[in-house]
Structure 1
Amino acid sequence: MNRDLMDNSTLDTLEAMLRTRTIEELAQQFHKAVDAIGEFYCLLANVNKFQPGAIRPTLSSYPKEWTTHYIGNNYGQVDPLLPRAMQTTVGFEWNTCDAMMNKKEWALAADIYEIGVQDGFVLPIHGPGSSVFFASFGQAGRTMPLRMQIALSMLTMQYHQRYQQLTAPQVIQPDILTARERECLAWVANGRTTSEVAEILNVNDNTIKFHLKNAQRKLECTNRVTTVIKALSLGLISI
């Protein structure tokens, strides 16, 4: 495992978000984490894939005047970021939509330039059915470094996970993971690589991979990082 990805500061930030008890606490932790990365206007919202213009924000740091202007001009119906987000499962920079924009869409772009936003980054998270979680970050710069996109993506995924937990709490059986699976995850959470965990537990690498894969499947996660974070948030392991 990449030690940079799972260093203590990263885990501390993500764990703080996942230990929040209210939506308000979660929003505060998210804003704090985003501010540590850079200066952005951010919008997080739930969107129906078949009605992308009807967004339901869960968090926004845009000025109230801009939000009123956006709604008053019905910009949700012409915002090029929304249909693009409905059609892709990967993050993208705003400027990748430029070549396909029409006159009304350029009018929206011109208006947002007025508040100092020139480019940004969008991460869509597609849920069950027609639901899509839409995260958009606007910035003054014309391009956004890849490492910044990665950092914002990680924060957004953990915000979304915790938001889902707070609004629809999951019921997880305490014994869903075996003792060995919890042990392997705990060592990974403390920054150990597969080989290091294997040496500590006196087994081979494949055995550790087997237990981690089982834990990932049981917790319905997509990778090792999110498995560790979910196990921490559910109290299945500690660091």
Structure 2
Amino acid sequence: MFYDKSVVAQILAITRLTRLTRLHTAVEYFIREHGFHCYFFVINSTVSLNQSEPLRLHNLADDWVQLYRDEHLINTDPLVHYALNHQLPLDWRSLMTLPDYDTGEQRRVMILRAHHGMASGCTVPLAIGGLHARFNLISEQDGERAWDHVHQFLPYALLLGNVILERTRTLRGQDGTTTAQQREAHCAEALNSRERECLVWASAGHTNNEIGQRLGITERTVVYHISNACRKLRARNRQHAVTRAILSRQLPLEGLPVQFDSQGGGGD
């Protein structure tokens, strides 16, 4: 299903899958094709690996899952804490430089990850319909080239995480909410060309001022266009709007900037 397609098109192809087993297989194949070796996805980030969690997909090694359970690492896992308190995807190296993420216990969790073959990666906080989720994309490679690859892949990780969340909720049929949200998406207003342009540059992490300079408009006008796009797409913030615009085919599949702002923090 991924033959000779752009990265975004490959991710969007996953939306056609109709079984969780096929979803897991497709995600595992996709990430390996793009330089990653494992992933972890869970709805409701506070639920640990040692509890029954029907909405969880991953291909983590059994020894890591056992260790995580036995030592209750979820209590000091910085990736869990970040996903609960932030909205933007972030590579782990940048995450660990943020305030409140440099305790000895948190560093120990990340060191244990590295010892179990998870040397680099990123965490994507997700939320939809009152649910919170997180998606970890993981590489066994370390070094500058590995971290550069993780950083450059962040926009795709954000899109992939949202696709997995949407598919998982649909296939589980939680309270019929997905059908309602799909109807809502179909009713969203179409973006105009300027709103699409602003979202394209916002997807690369540019500030309102930088977007204005690129497009030859004022910062205030940029704010106006992005606010309109969020309203039309019924999005919480600009990154959510970017994701919904891509999923609804209102942003082009090709040519999106791949740079992403590495600064952590809350949403815009």
> Under a length normalisation based on structure 2, what TM-score does the superposition of the two structures give?
0.59
1: distance between equivalents of 2:106 and 2:243? 38
- Kindly indicate whether residue 166 of structure 2 is the aligned counterpart of residue 161 of structure 1: yes
Q: Report the 3-state secondary structure (helix = DSSP H, G, I; strand = E; otherwise coil) of the residue aligned with 2:48.
A: strand
> How many correspondences in the alignment?
193
1:158 deviates by 1.4
Q: 1:84 to 1:11 in 2, by over 3 A?
A: closer
Gaps of 5+ in 2: 197-227, 251-268
Counterpart amino acid of residue 136 in structure 2: S
- Cα RMSD between the aligned structures? 3.6
Moved more, 73-82 or 136-145: 136-145
1:135 matched residue in structure 2 = 135
Counterpart amino acid of residue 69 in structure 2: I
What do the CA deviations read for 1:165-218 (whole angstroms, capped 9, x no partner)?
Answer: 222241556xx669x97xx9xxx9xxxxxxxxxxxxxxxxxxxxxxxx89x967
1: distance between equivalents of 2:242 and 2:80? 30
1: distance between equivalents of 2:132 and 2:244? 19
1: distance between equivalents of 2:132 and 2:80? 10
Q: 1:124 to 1:228 in 2, by over 3 A?
A: closer
Query: Quick check: which one's strand share is greater?
Result: 1
- Give 1:89-128 correspondences, 5 Å limit: 89-95=87-93, 96-97=95-96, 100-128=101-129
1:15 deviates by 3.5
1:69 matched residue in structure 2 = 67
Q: 1:225 to 1:45 in 2, by over 3 A?
A: closer
- Kindly indicate whether residue 22 of structure 2 is the aligned counterpart of residue 13 of structure 1: no
Query: Are the aligned partners of 1:33 and 1:155 in contact in 2 as well (CA < 8 Å)?
Result: no
1: distance between equivalents of 2:97 and 2:171? 37
Moved more, 143-152 or 83-92: 143-152
Q: Report the 3-state secondary structure (helix = DSSP H, G, I; strand = E; otherwise coil) of the residue aligned with 1:141.
A: coil
Gaps of 5+ in 1: 1-6, 189-212, 233-239
Larger Cα-atom Rg: 1
2:157 matched residue in structure 1 = 152
Query: Are the aligned partners of 2:36 and 2:137 in contact in 1 as well (CA < 8 Å)?
Result: no
1:227 deviates by 4.2
Moved more, 9-18 or 118-127: 9-18
- Give 1:1-239 correspondences, 5 Å limit: 8-10=5-7, 12-48=9-45, 52=46, 54=48, 56=53, 58-95=56-93, 96-97=95-96, 100-129=101-130, 131-139=131-139, 140-142=141-143, 144-145=147-148, 146-168=151-173, 169-171=178-180, 220=234, 222-223=240-241, 226-227=244-245, 229-230=247-248
Matched-pair identity in %: 13
Q: Report the 3-state secondary structure (helix = DSSP H, G, I; strand = E; otherwise coil) of the residue aligned with 2:6.
A: helix
Q: 1:78 to 1:228 in 2, by over 3 A?
A: closer
Query: Are the aligned partners of 1:47 and 1:54 in contact in 2 as well (CA < 8 Å)?
Result: no
1:228 deviates by 5.7
2: distance between equivalents of 1:16 and 1:106? 37
Structure 1's consecutive aligned runs of 4 or more residues displaced over 4 angstroms after TM superposition are 216-222
Q: Report the 3-state secondary structure (helix = DSSP H, G, I; strand = E; otherwise coil) of the residue aligned with 1:157.
A: helix
Q: 1:107 to 1:159 in 2, by over 3 A?
A: same
